[in-house]
Structure 1
Amino acid sequence: MIAFEPTEDQRLMQDAVAEFAKATLLPRTRELEHARGVSEDIRRTAHEMGLGLVSVPEAAGGQGQGLVTTVLIEEELGAADAAAAFGLAGPGAFGRAVIELGGPERAAELLAGFAEEGGWDRFGAVAWSEPAPCRTHEGFATKAERTDEGYRITGKKAFVGNAALADRFVVFAQVEPERGWGGIGAFVVRRDNAGIRVGERHKTLGLDAASFGEVVLEGAVVRDADRLLGDGGEEGFTRAALRFFVKHALVVAARAVGLSRFAFELAREHCDTRVAFGKPIGHFQAVAFTLADRAMDVETSRWLVWKAAAAWDAGQSERDALLASARAAAHAFEATMRTADDCVQLFGGSGFIRDLVAEKLMRDAKQLMLAAPTAEQLDQLASAIELGQKLDPALVLPTPDTQAIFT
C-alpha cells in the first residue's frame, strides 16, 4: 500500500504554526521588510513555541524531531513570509552543520544554549561563501593555519545569514591548499573570539527581513577541539558536508513551497475576481492554463520535498536520500520562481507596484534560489549520483567558482 500522511502530532504542530504565521507574520510582512529584521515580540513568541528547536537534539534541550516535521512547519512559515522565517531565533544552518559535521555529543554541547530562557535572541550562522574565487589554488581563500594553540583562521566570508546576530559560527577554511577542495576544514568560532568581526550587511534583492553580511577573520585562534571533522578523512568530511547542504536545501525548499503556495493563492483569487470582457479573467484559457501549471508546481514541489525529508527520517540509504533531496530542492527553487513570476504577470500593471505583495514575492523567490545550493548545483549533485561518479568536493559542493550562496 502506498501512503504518506503526517502523524496527528505533526498535524497539530503544523496547524499551530499556520495559525501563528497567518495571525502574526502575514499582517506585518511589509513592516518587517522595512525594518529589515524580525521584531523582538515575534522572536519571543516563536521561541516559546519551540520553532527554532524542532530538529535540535533532545540532549540539547530541543524537540529532536525529524526532517518531515521540520519541512511541514517551514512551509507554513514560508506561506506567510519566507523572509521572516530566516530571521527567527535559533541555531538554523549552524545547528544542521554541527549535527552533521560534529556528531551527536559535540552537537549537544554546541546547541545547548539555544533552548535557554534567552534563546529568543540567540542565533547561529554558517560562513561558507566568499566574496570572490580564490586565485592561488582551488578551494577557499580563507585559510586555517596549524599552530601550537590549534588553528589560526584568516580571511573574509560573505553572504552569511544572520552574521550580525549570531554568537557562534561554523567557518569553512582552507587547511591544506595543495589539496584544493579536498583540503578544506570546518571550525567553530565564537563571537567573543578576538580575531573575528562582522563586516557590512549586504543589500539584497529580496528577503529583507533576513540579515546577510560579511564575516572577517583576522587571525582568529581556535582549539583543536573546535575543528569539526565529519566522519573522518576527506571522503567522510565531504559526505558530512553534503548531508548538511542538502538538508539545509530541503529546509529552504520547504519555505519556497510555502511562498509558491502564497503566490498561487494570491493569483487565483485575483483571477477569480478581476473581470474583463464580461467575465473573470481566470475563465480565459491562457490565464486558466497558467494557473493550472502553477498549481501543479506547488503540488509536485510539496510532495518531492516531503518525500526527500521522509527518506532521511526513515533511514534510507545515503545515496537515495541525497538524490531525492537534490531533485526536490532543485525543483522547488525553480517552481517558486515560476509561480511568483506568473503571479506578478497575472496582476498586470499593478503586479510590480509596491502597494501589492506580489512584487515582494517575486523578489523573495529569486533570493530563495540563492539561499542554499542553487538548482544548478543540485542538478550537478543529482547527475553525479545517477551516473555513479565519485563525489568529488569540487564537483558537488557549491563553490565560489560556480556561484556563491547565502547560508
Structure 2
Amino acid sequence: MGDIGYNFTPAQIELRDRVRNIVDKYIRPRAEEINQKGEFPWDIFEIYKKENLLGISFPKEYGGTEMGAMACAMTLEEIAKACTTCIQICGQPILGAKMIVGAGSHEQKAKYLPVIAKGDLFPAVCMTEPEAGSDSGALRTRAQRKGDQYILNGTKVFITNADVANVFTVFAKTDPEKGRNGISAFIVQRDFPGVSVGKAEEKMGSSVIHTSEVVFEDCIVPKENLVGEEGEGFNIGGRLFGESRYITASRAIGLAQGVLAHTIAFIKEKGISSELIDSKIAEMATKIEAGRHVLYKACSEVERRSKDSRYRISIAKFYCSNVAVEVPIMAMDILGKHGYSATHPIERFMCDAKITQIAEGTNQIQCQIIAGALASGDFVL
C-alpha cells in the first residue's frame, strides 16, 4: 500500500524502498520454503547484517544508524507483508537490545550495541516465567548480591529466539520483599556459567522462530552487568518495552497487508467477482489503512518523546493486532477451502496472526493501560 499522508524524510523513503527491494529479491520468493523447512533462515539474517538493518534504532556512536521508531516500523511492516518469520529475526535484535539502548551505561552500550548491530551478537529478552506472564511483578527468578557479582537462580519460559541468542536481558528480584520494586535488570551472556536453554515449544504458528525455556542455575553475573540501579528493573522494563510495542504492531499490520495482496491476487486469478467479495475487500483495506495511521501516529509520538507515546503505542498494538486476526478470517471467507489449505499463504498468515494479540503484553493489558489513562486524565484523545 502507498504513502498515507505522513511527511516521511528522504532517508526514511530510501530505507523503505531498499527494504522493499530486499523483500522482493530475497524474502518473498523463499517465504513458503522457510516456513516448510522450519529452520532459522541464517541466509536472510546475513542479508540484514550486510544491509545494516539490525541497528536501525541504535545511536550512531554505538554502531547504529539512529533512524528512530518510524523507520523501524516502516522496515518491519515491509518485511511482514511477505514473511512473519523474517520480520522476527530483524525485529528481535531491536527489541532485545532495547533495555541496553534506553537504560544501559556508556560502558554497557559500548560493549554490546556495536556487536549486536553487526549481527555478531543476538539478544533475547527473558521476562516471562511459569507463574509470571503479564503480571511481571510476580517474578520468582532471584538475583543475590555476593561481593562483586550476582548469583541468578530461576526459570524463564516462552523466550523468543532463545535457541539462537547469545546474550539475554534478564529481569530478576534482588529484593523479593519489595515486590515489583525489588526487580532488577541484568545483561547475561549465554556463555556465563549456569545458563542453559531447553527445548523449543510446539506452537500454533511462528514455528520457525522458536520459543524456549531458559534456566539460570547459580549463574554468575558481574555487578557491571546490572542495568541501572537495584530495584529499577520494573520501571525500566515497563517504560522501554512499552514503547517498543510498535514492533508487534508493525508486524501485525504488515501481515494484514500481505493477506490482502494474496486475496486480491486470488480473485484476479480465478476471475471471480460479487458485491459480497467487494465489500469484504473494502473492509479489509479500510481496517489496514486505519491501522497504519494509528501505528505511524504512535511512532511519531515516540520520536518526539511525547508523554502520550506509551498510550498511543498501546492503541496501535491493540488495534493492529486485532486487524491482523480479522483480515485473514475475512480472506478465508473469500478463498474458502483454498485459504484453509496448507499450500496457500493465507493459512500461514492466519496461524501467525494470533500471537500478535498476545506478545509484548496481551491486548487485555493494553486495554487496561488505555482505559486507566483515560479515566485518570493522563491521556486525552
| CA distance in structure 2 between the aligned counterparts of 1:175 and 1:301, rounded to whole angstroms | 40
For structure 2, list consecutive stretches of 5 or more residues without a partner in the other structure. none
The equivalent of 2:243 in structure 1 is 247
Which of 42, 47, 50 is matched with 2:44 structurally?
Answer: 42
Counterparts of 1:57-68 in structure 2 under 5 Å?
A: 57-68=59-70
Task: Tell me how far 1:169 sits from its aligned partner.
Answer: 0.5
Q: 1:197 to 1:389 in 2, by over 3 A?
A: farther
Counterparts of 1:2-41 in structure 2 under 5 Å?
A: 4-41=6-43
Contact 1:101 1:237 in 2 (8 A): no
The equivalent of 2:95 in structure 1 is 93
Task: Tell me how far 1:315 sits from its aligned partner.
Answer: 2.5
Q: How many residues matched?
A: 373
| CA distance in structure 2 between the aligned counterparts of 1:238 and 1:349, rounded to whole angstroms | 47
The equivalent of 2:374 in structure 1 is 386
The equivalent of 2:347 in structure 1 is 359
The equivalent of 2:223 in structure 1 is 224
The TM-score with structure 1 as length reference comes to 0.85
The amino acid across from 1:330 in the alignment is F
| CA distance in structure 2 between the aligned counterparts of 1:90 and 1:333, rounded to whole angstroms | 18
Contact 2:243 2:313 in 1 (8 A): yes
**2:97 aligned counterpart, secondary structure:** helix
Task: Tell me how far 1:39 sits from its aligned partner.
Answer: 2.8
The equivalent of 1:393 in structure 2 is none
| CA distance in structure 1 between the aligned counterparts of 2:23 and 2:8, rounded to whole angstroms | 19
Q: 1:138 to 1:23 in 2, by over 3 A?
A: closer
Counterparts of 1:139-158 in structure 2 under 5 Å?
A: 139-158=138-157
Identity %: 24
| CA distance in structure 1 between the aligned counterparts of 2:110 and 2:281, rounded to whole angstroms | 46
Q: Is residue 2:292 matched to residue 1:302?
A: yes
Alignment RMSD: 2.3
The amino acid across from 2:353 in the alignment is A
Q: 1:243 to 1:138 in 2, by over 3 A?
A: closer
Contact 1:126 1:161 in 2 (8 A): yes
The equivalent of 1:400 in structure 2 is none
| CA distance in structure 2 between the aligned counterparts of 1:107 and 1:16, rounded to whole angstroms | 28
**2:26 aligned counterpart, secondary structure:** helix
Task: Tell me how far 1:133 sits from its aligned partner.
Answer: 4.0
The amino acid across from 1:177 in the alignment is P
Which of 57, 70, 73 is matched with 2:72 structurally?
Answer: 70
Task: Tell me how far 1:246 sits from its aligned partner.
Answer: 2.3
Contact 1:122 1:165 in 2 (8 A): no
The equivalent of 2:321 in structure 1 is 333
The TM-score with structure 2 as length reference comes to 0.91
| CA distance in structure 2 between the aligned counterparts of 1:367 and 1:324, rounded to whole angstroms | 20
The equivalent of 2:58 in structure 1 is 56
The amino acid across from 1:262 in the alignment is G
Q: 1:304 to 1:138 in 2, by over 3 A?
A: closer
Report Cα offsets for 1:6-56 as digits up to 9, x if no partner: 111111110110111122111111221133234332221111101111112
| CA distance in structure 1 between the aligned counterparts of 2:106 and 2:82, rounded to whole angstroms | 33
Contact 2:156 2:214 in 1 (8 A): yes
Report Cα offsets for 1:255-311 as digits up to 9, x if no partner: 111100011121223234435xxxx23x22x32222222111111111111111111
Report Cα offsets for 1:63-107 as digits up to 9, x if no partner: 111101110111001111011111349733221122223256533
Q: Is residue 2:259 matched to residue 1:260?
A: no
**1:131 aligned counterpart, secondary structure:** coil
For structure 1, list consecutive stretches of 5 or more residues without a partner in the other structure. 391-407
The equivalent of 2:312 in structure 1 is 324
The equivalent of 2:281 in structure 1 is 291
| CA distance in structure 2 between the aligned counterparts of 1:110 and 1:25, rounded to whole angstroms | 28
Q: 1:63 to 1:85 in 2, by over 3 A?
A: same
